[in-house]
Amino acid sequence: MTCFVHADKLKYMFRFIFAALTSVAVTTVFSVMSAADANAQRVAGRDLLDFPLGLLAEAPALSDRMAGGLWNPATSALTPSTRAEFGFAGLTTPQELGVRLEMLAAAFRLKPNVTGSMSIAQASVADILRTETDPQSIGGEIPYSTTLLSVGAATTRKNVTFGVSARYRWGTADTEHSGAFAMDGGVIVDHVARIPVRLAVSTFLFNPSTSSDEASYFAAADVPIVRVDTTLIVRGGYSIAKTEERGHEQYAFSTATYRQFDLSTGVSTTTEFGNTSHRWRLGFGLRRAGYNVAIARENGGAGLGASYQFLLTRAVK
């Protein structure tokens, strides 16, 4: 009797989450259609989401370190031994840029092979002073920020993990406020033809109802270089990313796991608006008693200082 009650509860929860996802998607689609009729324009703050929030110097399409699957919905899938996961991530940039990002996320098991996820990310920039015809400030800062809400689900079939996420993003630039709907998907393939390679592809802020100039597309692959049982694992990989109307990034990276310690590093080559820059990233993480704490550093370009990331997750077995 207890088993039947437990199964009914799981089925009810899964149907509830599915209904919630459908409701969010339908509501936001109508909102976007109404906005498009008025005058479809880009939502402010998209550039603030170009920073590697929740990543430990890893490829966005492959990294599952942060809960919620921000960059690839498939990475939100929980391992069979984990019932839920909660996480917080933050990122700060040099004072010259004044950009700050935070993210809260949660993932929870709906069925043995289905994971539901929710996350909210917020990004803003400070010290944009209001001026007229000269650099002299006339008082007050100009607000410039964006908030991204995501609800998703992921499932695993054999060696392939699929994920989808419905998103809604708000943007503010001075007195202008607007929003846009996005629907993203991702896939991770673990082992191909008995070769221990991992492949991943995903989208970020893809708008299915209009031709969007905000969407990003990710692809990545990595393979083991050194493996000593489960004590030491070193992998090397390569990823590419392209953002509509902005540019593209190529990233060569390596990750290492030794007991409860994680280390990752890589070099990013970014081309935006005809300009190319190189940035070095380094991350360090510690896993213990269900907690995962990580910090990372990325060199700045154009003579700017480095940006720093922080991440904390808690897995519930």
Please say whether the beta carbons of 252 and 241 come within 8 A. no
Q: Which two tokens stand for residue 42?
A: 């880009």
Per residue in 228-255, pLDDT tens?
A: 988 899 999 999 999 877 789 999 999 9
Per residue in 188-209, pLDDT tens?
A: 999 988 899 999 999 999 987 7
Return the exposure string of 140-164: e unless at least 16 CB atoms fall within 10 Å of the residue's CB, then b. eeebbbbbbbbbbbbbbeeeebbbb
Q: What is the DSSP string of 194-260?
A: TEEEEEEEEEES--SSS--SS-EEEEEEEEEEEEETTTEEEEEEEEEEEETTTEEEEEEEEEEEETT
**Kind plus residue range of the DSSP H or E element containing 124:** strand 114-125
Q: What span, in angstroms and rounded, lies between the C-alpha atoms of 53 and 267?
A: 17
Say if residue 34's pLDDT is above 70: no
Q: What is the dihedral of CA 81, 238, 165, 36, to 10 degrees?
A: 170
Q: Which two tokens stand for residue 224?
A: 């083991």
Please say whether the beta carbons of 310 and 297 come within 8 A. no
CB atoms within 10 A of CB 267: 14
Burial class of residue 231 (count of CB atoms within 10 Å of its CB; 0-12, 13-18, 19+): exposed
| pLDDT value for 210 | 62
Say if residue 107's pLDDT is above 60: yes
Say if residue 45's pLDDT is above 60: yes
Q: What is the DSSP string of 137-170?
A: EEEEEPPEEEEEEEEEEEEEETTEEEEEEEEEEE
Q: Which has the minimum average pLDDT: 3-7, 38-42, 225-229? A: 3-7
CB atoms within 10 A of CB 111: 13
**Where in the chain are the domains?**
2-316
Which pTM does this prediction carry?
Answer: 0.82
| pLDDT value for 116 | 98
Mean pLDDT on 56-61: 93
Q: What span, in angstroms and rounded, lies between the C-alpha atoms of 203 and 58?
A: 16
For residue 267, give the nearest of 284, 254, 252, 247 by alpha carbon. Answer: 252
Q: Which two tokens stand for residue 185?
A: 């998907």
Q: Hunting for tokens 């003579």 — which residue is that? A: 303
Domain 2-316 sits in CATH at: 2.40.160.40
